[in-house]
């Protein structure tokens, strides 16, 4: 039984996310909370399998909450949700360790599909986010540490995505399987996280990749 | 009514007179006998031949360089005979002897053939020399021309000063002094560069004239100091001085009363120099409240101190104490010219405000030189130290004191430069004054800090910072919103405004203008951005929300609201990210369309030209692109019953051609579209008109094609 924690301050949206989660993970139990404090309290009682976290919460930062969940429940699938959050905030969340993100104004069927894909381990990545990530790696420069640089294949994948291809199209272009493309994207996320923790550079701040997570 | 004389005719007259006088001096110099050889002191008896003119009488007679002339016409030659200036003789008896010998030699040279006893390496011999009765122009030495120039220069400077202020007693005295300078130098030019001898009578007259000029110069200078800038002694009382000096000159010329040139000539020169010291002190005290007068006085004192002081120490003092004069007469006279130039500038009040910057340094260096000489003299005469050692000691001691003192002064000047750096920071503060504080007030505070003026008031506008009223006033222009200012009496009235001050003012104003402009540009930028955001929101989001409100179907409402939210995010992203490019917009739309079509089971064929680089989009164009694609895809999903959608994008010269084709049902033109669904394209058509574009919808049995074309960038081509 999948346990889904939904952290969302707008009541109507919280209910809507509830129905969406029920559709995406049939038979799941949902825990609905309206803020960071309530979320932390819920975390003490139970470990969720999936967490849908709103970036803009009234009583704290969604990204800090994300970091906390990552620390205490490493196995949880963390997805951040946003409607007006800009790209910088999203990339900041990704670098902190989110598995993916959802834009709340999309049509329900699209969101359900994306959520299911995330649960299957296929991360979604929009072109503008991909561009931002490319920019980050470009600005932080080549590093001696293998952990931090993107491989040529990863750069290719990122490039195609930034031009508007979806995972399936990228797979077609490169002659790879979709799962391979997905694993490349996961590697990119991981390196993003490491790289932005390691780099305290001006660029990381500018890209919104510092712990505060505030965009420009 | 008396006609007023303007400077130009006076100067022209002076120039003409000077040329005439100079010509006569040259003529007098040329009608002397020419031997064609240059004689200098020898080791033993006689005079050494230093140079022989190649085509002169000496060369013809077989005399050579390096040989010694023992006697001329039987008269043995001595060092006395070639002395440059008879003033250097110790007593009147020596003078009389000198003139007598000069007469003898001259007579001999005028006879046309004279016997010369010469001693060379081969031994002694007698040669007949036939001197020419006039000299060629080339025989006049550089010293002659230098003295001629000095005399002419002095008189012309005096004439210039007088031409500017004809009735001013100070200017009149300056002109007299200039003339006196000529009277000193012209006779000296003739006799100091003579070819061995002049006629005794001529020589005596020239010497007397020379002394007359010197006394007159001294009297004029002393009188000037007691009359300018403030009249300390009335002109009537001053008459005493020329009377006294006139008597002294008479005694010296007739060679009575005194024992020789030292007391007859050099002593009064020194006394006259000392006489102006109390006058200088008094003048300074009287001028302490007037910065303009004080500056003029400083020029004056500086010129007199430098020129006369060095002249006296190099010429007068050695002669007075029986030492050898350290430099030739001609060079010494040049120093007098420098005095004179300084005095002239002072009396003419010419650019006094330049003085401040370098006068102090010059005086300081001068004081050092004097200190070296004084210390040297002390060591030689009082402590009886060897000459060369004394000079070395003197120099070392003075330098030891001089160098740290110079450093201290430089540090004081450097600190004033540091203050200037702080001033520039304050300029930026003035420019960035918040709206509730007074910008003018901050600016005047800054100026007060920079210049410490006694007076500061709003002034008439000027184009750039200028010094007015001979350095009393500095006028600054208006800069931006700050008004034009007039500053008076720099540093509490202690000095005049100098060129450095106006240069600083220029820098300050330029910096203020630049800072104000930058601030304005930034504020404009911010305002523009705000306007753009509000325009965007009004145009796009407002329109969509309104459509959502007023349309019927719930689905359609949702779509419109979703669109509005997505547009909101685009606006936020646009403001935070850099410029939006076509390539990025197309990439985002491709994913969105592919997702939506895939959800409806329709495949997407995307064909967009791969552009190198980034095409910057007009904001309206980006929205139009998004709206068209979204609307078209929505329509296909809803109505077309299609299997595949082909999107083609072409860009050319700033215009985009977009075509969306589906292979569905198509529609017949004129068929009614379901209520509430037709407005999307109408809205888009309106927007496209603003972009100089249009939209066409064609339907046939094989499917529907929507083509749109519009401006992408600012300079795009028209259809």
Question: What is the dihedral sign for C-alpha B198, B199, B202, B208?
Answer: positive
What is the rounded CA–CA span in Å between residue A187 and residue B714? 41
Chain A interface, best mutation among B595, B601, B638, by max A CB count within 10 A: B595
Residue A208 has pLDDT above 60, yes or no: no
Predicted confidence at residue B612, as pLDDT, reads: 62
Q: With CB atoms and an 8 Å threshold, state whether B588 touches A165.
A: no
Q: Please report residues of B whose CB lies closer than 8 A to that of A203.
A: none
**A215 confidence band (pLDDT: 50, 70, 90):** very low
Give residue-wise pLDDT tens across range A78-123: 999 988 767 778 888 888 888 888 888 888 888 888 888 888 877 7
Predicted confidence at residue B352, as pLDDT, reads: 58
User: What is the number of other CB atoms lying within 10 angstroms of the CB of residue B605?
Assistant: 10
SS3 label, residue B711: strand
Give percent of chain B with pLDDT exceeding 70: 89
What is the rounded CA–CA span in Å between residue B38 and residue B57? 12
**A193 confidence band (pLDDT: 50, 70, 90):** confident
Q: How far is A56 from chain B (nearest CA, A)?
A: 14
Residue B719 has pLDDT above 60, yes or no: no
Q: Please report residues of B whose CB lies closer than 8 A to that of A87.
A: 573, 576-577
Q: Please report residues of A whose CB lies closer than 8 A to that of B566.
A: 103, 105
**Domain residue limits, chain B:** 7-26+140-350, 31-139, 580-711
Give residue-wise pLDDT tens across range B607-636: 887 666 667 777 677 778 888 888 888 888
**B506 confidence band (pLDDT: 50, 70, 90):** very high
Q: Report the pLDDT averaged over residues B356-369.
A: 66
Predicted confidence at residue B357, as pLDDT, reads: 56
Contact between A204 and A136 under an 8 Å Cβ cutoff? The reply is yes
Contact between B349 and B316 under an 8 Å Cβ cutoff? The reply is no
Q: With CB atoms and an 8 Å threshold, state whether B591 touches A113.
A: no
What DSSP letter does each residue of A13-61 carry, written as one string? Answer: HHHHHHHHHHHHSTT-EEEEESSHHHHHHHHHH---SEEEEESEETTEE
Q: What is the CATH number of domain B580-711?
A: 3.30.565.10
Q: How far is A169 from chain B (nearest CA, A)?
A: 10
* Burial annotation B315-333 (CB, 10 A radius, 16+ → b, else e): bbbbbbeeeebeeebbbbb
Could you tell me the two tokens for A160? 């195609």
- Residue B223 backbone phi and psi in degrees, to 5: -60, -40
What DSSP letter does each residue of B278-307 carry, written as one string? Answer: HHHHHHHHHTTT-HHHHHHHHHHHHHIIII
CB-nearest to A164 from B561, B566, B586 is B586
What is the rounded CA–CA span in Å between residue B86 and residue B31? 21
Residue of B145, B157, B152, B154 lying closest to B189 (CA atoms)? B145
Give percent of chain A with pLDDT exceeding 90: 20
Q: Which residues contact A44 (CB under 8 A, 6 or more apart)?
A: none
**B578 confidence band (pLDDT: 50, 70, 90):** very low
What is the rounded CA–CA span in Å between residue A164 and residue A173? 13
What is the rounded CA–CA span in Å between residue B251 and residue B271? 16
Predicted confidence at residue A200, as pLDDT, reads: 43
Residue of B84, B290, B325 lying closest to B196 (CA atoms)? B84
pTM to 2 decimals?
Answer: 0.50
ipTM confidence score? 0.76
Residue B674 has pLDDT above 50, yes or no: no
Could you tell me the two tokens for B376? 């040297």
**A216 confidence band (pLDDT: 50, 70, 90):** very low
Q: B251 vs B212, B245, B306, CA distance in Å?
A: 12, 10, 30
Q: Report the pLDDT averaged over residues A57-72.
A: 88
Q: Report the pLDDT averaged over residues A25-29.
A: 90
Q: Please report residues of B whose CB lies closer than 8 A to that of A109.
A: 599
Residue ranges and CATH numbers for the domains of chain A are: 3-119 (3.40.50.2300), 127-206 (1.10.10.10)
Give residue-wise pLDDT tens across range B170-201: 888 888 988 998 898 899 888 888 888 888 88
What is the rounded CA–CA span in Å between residue B72 and residue B297? 55
Q: With CB atoms and an 8 Å threshold, state whether A84 touches B586.
A: no
Predicted confidence at residue A50, as pLDDT, reads: 92
Q: How far is B558 from chain A (nearest CA, A)?
A: 9
Predicted confidence at residue A86, as pLDDT, reads: 72
Could you tell me the two tokens for B63? 């005399």
Half-sphere exposure of A2 (CA within 13 A, CB side): 19
DSSP-assigned beta bridge partners for residue B1: none
- Residue A33 backbone phi and psi in degrees, to 5: -130, 155
Residue B94 has pLDDT above 80, yes or no: yes
What is the rounded CA–CA span in Å between residue B640 and residue B314? 115
SS3 label, residue B454: coil
Token pair 């003119």 in the structure block, residue: B53
B584 contacts chain A (CB < 8 A): yes
Sheet containing A100-103: which strands, arranged edge to edge? A29-33, A3-7, A50-54, A77-82, A100-103
Give me chain B's average pLDDT, please.
Answer: 81
Contact between B657 and B712 under an 8 Å Cβ cutoff? The reply is no
Residue B680 C-alpha from the chain's centroid:
72
SS3 label, residue B324: coil
Residue of A165, A191, A169 lying closest to A178 (CA atoms)? A169
Token pair 């985009």 in the structure block, residue: B656
Contact between B405 and B414 under an 8 Å Cβ cutoff? The reply is no
Q: With CB atoms and an 8 Å threshold, state whether A110 touches B589.
A: no
Q: Give residue B579's region: left, alpha or beta (phi > 0; psi -120 to 50).
A: beta
B31-139 folds as Pdz3 Domain (2.30.42)
* Helices (runs of H) and strands (runs of E) counted in chain B: 24, 15
Q: How far is A111 from chain B (nearest CA, A)?
A: 11
Is B7-26+140-350's fold the same as B580-711's? no
In degrees, rounded to 5, the angle at the alpha carbon of residue B314 between the alpha carbons of residues B308 and B316 is: 75
- Residue B657 backbone phi and psi in degrees, to 5: -120, 115
Q: With CB atoms and an 8 Å threshold, state whether A128 touches B595.
A: no
Residue B653 has pLDDT above 90, yes or no: no
Nearest CA in chain A to B566: A105
Could you tell me the two tokens for B9? 């005719």
Q: With CB atoms and an 8 Å threshold, state whether A84 touches B558.
A: no
Predicted confidence at residue B11, as pLDDT, reads: 86
**B567 confidence band (pLDDT: 50, 70, 90):** confident
**A31 confidence band (pLDDT: 50, 70, 90):** very high
Q: Which helix (H) or strand (E) holds B251?
A: helix B240-254
Burial class (CB in 10 A: 0-12, 13-18, 19+), B276: buried
Q: Which residues contact B691 (CB under 8 A, 6 or more apart)?
A: B618, B620, B621, B624, B710, B711
Predicted confidence at residue B683, as pLDDT, reads: 72
* Terminal alpha carbon distance of chain B: 86
Chain A interface, best mutation among B561, B568, B573, by max A CB count within 10 A: B573
Contact between B310 and B337 under an 8 Å Cβ cutoff? The reply is no
Residue of A120, A155, A105 lying closest to A135 (CA atoms)? A155
Q: With CB atoms and an 8 Å threshold, state whether A128 touches B594.
A: no
Higher pLDDT, B558 or B328: B558
Chain B interface, best mutation among A90, A105, A115, A131, by max B CB count within 10 A: A105
For chain B, helix, strand, coil in percent to 5 are 65, 15, 25
Q: Which of A196-205, B18-27, B282-291 has the lowest mean pLDDT?
A: A196-205
**A152 confidence band (pLDDT: 50, 70, 90):** confident
Peptide bond before residue B229 is cis, with ω within 30 degrees of 0:
yes
Contact between B155 and B344 under an 8 Å Cβ cutoff? The reply is no
In degrees, rounded to 5, the angle at the alpha carbon of residue B374 between the alpha carbons of residues B369 and B378 is: 150
Predicted confidence at residue A42, as pLDDT, reads: 92
Q: What is the CATH number of domain B7-26+140-350?
A: 1.20.1070
Q: Please report residues of A whose CB lies closer than 8 A to that of B599.
A: 107, 109-110, 113
CB-nearest to B572 from A84, A109, A127 is A84
Residue A4 has pLDDT above 90, yes or no: yes
Predicted confidence at residue A190, as pLDDT, reads: 81
Predicted confidence at residue B576, as pLDDT, reads: 47
DSSP-assigned beta bridge partners for residue B479: B482
Q: Please report residues of B whose CB lies closer than 8 A to that of A126.
A: 588, 591
**B438 confidence band (pLDDT: 50, 70, 90):** confident
Q: Please report residues of A whose CB lies closer than 8 A to that of B587.
A: 127-128, 131, 162-164
Residue B319 has pLDDT above 60, yes or no: yes
Higher pLDDT, B338 or B397: B397
């Amino acid at each position: 039984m999948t346990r889904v924690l939904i952290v969302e301050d707008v009541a109507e949206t919280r209910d809507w996310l509830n129905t969406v989660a029920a559709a995406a993970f049939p038979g799941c139990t949902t825990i609905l909370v309206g803020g960071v404090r309530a979320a932390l309290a819920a975390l003490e009682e139970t470990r969720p399998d999936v967490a849908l976290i709103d970036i803009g919460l009234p009583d704290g930062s969604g990204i800090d909450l994300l970091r906390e969940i990552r620390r205490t429940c490493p196995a949880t699938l963390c997805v951040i949700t946003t409607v007006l959050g800009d790209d910088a905030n999203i990339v900041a969340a990704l670098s902190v360790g989110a598995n993916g993100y959802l834009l709340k104004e999309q049509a329900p069927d699209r969101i359900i599909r994306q959520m299911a894909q995330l649960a299957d381990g296929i991360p979604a990545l929009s072109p503008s986010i991909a561009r931002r990530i490319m920019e980050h790696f470009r600005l932080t420069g080549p590093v001696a540490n293998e952990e931090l640089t993107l491989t040529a294949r990863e750069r290719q994948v990122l490039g195609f995505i930034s031009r508007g291809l979806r995972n399936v199209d990228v797979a077609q272009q490169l002659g790879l399987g979709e799962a391979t493309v997905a694993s490349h994207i996961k590697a990119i996320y991981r390196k993003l996280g490491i790289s932005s923790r390691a780099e305290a550079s001006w660029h990381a701040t500018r890209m919104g990749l510092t712990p505060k997570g505030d965009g420009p | 009514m008396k006609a007023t004389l303007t400077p130009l005719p006076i100067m022209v007259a002076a120039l003409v007179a000077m040329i005439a006088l100079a010509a006569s001096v040259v003529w007098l110099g040329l009608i002397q006998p020419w031997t064609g050889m240059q004689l200098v002191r020898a080791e033993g008896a006689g005079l050494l031949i230093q140079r022989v003119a190649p085509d002169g009488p000496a060369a013809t007679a077989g005399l050579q360089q390096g040989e010694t002339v023992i006697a001329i016409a039987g008269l043995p030659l001595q060092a006395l005979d070639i002395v440059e200036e008879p003033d250097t003789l110790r007593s009147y008896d020596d003078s009389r002897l000198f003139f007598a010998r000069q007469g003898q030699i001259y007579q001999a040279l005028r006879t046309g053939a004279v016997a010369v006893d010469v001693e060379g390496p081969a031994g002694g011999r007698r040669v007949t020399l036939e001197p020419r009765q006039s000299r060629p122009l080339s025989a006049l030495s550089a010293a002659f021309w230098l003295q001629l120039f000095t005399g002419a220069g002095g008189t012309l400077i005096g004439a210039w000063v007088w031409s500017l202020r004809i009735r001013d007693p100070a200017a009149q005295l300056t002109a007299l002094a200039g003339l006196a300078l000529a009277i000193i130098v012209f006779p000296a030019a003739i006799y100091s560069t003579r070819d061995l001898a002049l006629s005794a009578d001529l020589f005596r007259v020239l010497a007397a004239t020379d002394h007359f000029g010197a006394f007159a110069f001294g009297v004029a200078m002393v009188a000037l100091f007691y009359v300018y800038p403030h009249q300390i002694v009335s002109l009537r009382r001053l008459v005493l001085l020329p009377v006294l000096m006139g008597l002294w000159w008479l005694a010296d010329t007739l060679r009575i009363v005194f024992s020789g040139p030292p007391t007859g000539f050099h002593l009064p020169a020194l006394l006259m120099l000392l006489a102006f010291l109390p006058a200088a002190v008094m003048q300074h005290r009287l001028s302490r409240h007037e910065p303009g007068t004080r500056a003029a006085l400083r020029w004056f004192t500086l010129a007199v101190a430098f020129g006369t002081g060095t002249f006296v120490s190099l010429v007068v003092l050695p002669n007075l104490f029986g030492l050898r004069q350290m430099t030739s007469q001609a060079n010494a006279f040049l120093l007098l010219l420098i005095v004179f130039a300084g005095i002239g500038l002072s009396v003419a009040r010419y650019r006094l405000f330049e003085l401040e910057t370098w006068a102090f340094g010059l005086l300081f260096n001068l004081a050092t030189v004097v200190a070296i000489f004084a210390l040297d003299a002390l060591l030689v005469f009082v402590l009886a130290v060897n000459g060369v050692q004394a000079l070395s000691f003197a120099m070392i001691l003075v330098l030891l004191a001089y160098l740290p003192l110079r450093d201290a002064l430089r540090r004081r000047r450097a600190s004033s430069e540091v203050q200037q750096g702080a001033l520039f920071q304050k300029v930026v503060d003035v420019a960035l004054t918040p709206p509730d504080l007074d910008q003018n007030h901050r600016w005047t505070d800054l100026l007060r800090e920079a210049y410490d003026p006694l007076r500061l008031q709003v002034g008439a506008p000027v184009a750039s910072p200028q010094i007015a009223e001979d350095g009393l006033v500095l006028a600054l222009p208006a800069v931006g919103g700050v008004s034009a200012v007039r500053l008076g009496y720099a540093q509490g009235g202690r000095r005049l405004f100098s060129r450095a001050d106006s240069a600083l003012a220029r820098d300050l104003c330029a910096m203020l203008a630049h800072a104000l402009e930058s601030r304005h540009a930034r504020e404009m930028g911010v305002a523009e951005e705000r306007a753009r955001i509000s325009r965007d929101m009004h145009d796009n989001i407002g329109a969509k929300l309104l459509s959502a409100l007023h349309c019927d179907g719930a689905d359609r409402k949702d779509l419109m609201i979703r669109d509005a939210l997505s547009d909101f995010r685009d606006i936020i992203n646009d403001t935070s990210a850099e410029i939006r490019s076509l390539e990025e917009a197309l990439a985002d739309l491709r994913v969105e369309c592919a997702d939506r079509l895939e959800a409806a089971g329709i495949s997407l064929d995307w064909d967009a030209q791969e552009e190198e680089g980034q095409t910057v989009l007009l904001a309206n164009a980006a929205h139009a692109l998004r709206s068209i694609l979204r609307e078209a895809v929505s329509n296909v999903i809803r109505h077309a019953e299609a299997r595949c959608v082909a999107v083609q994008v072409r860009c050319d010269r700033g215009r985009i051609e977009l075509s969306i084709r589906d292979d569905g049902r198509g529609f017949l033109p004129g068929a009614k579209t379901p209520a509430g669904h037709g407005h999307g394209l109408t809205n888009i058509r309106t927007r496209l008109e603003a972009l100089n574009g249009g939209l066409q919808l064609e339907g046939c049995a094989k499917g529907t094609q929507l083509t749109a074309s519009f401006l992408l960038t600012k300079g795009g081509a028209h259809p």
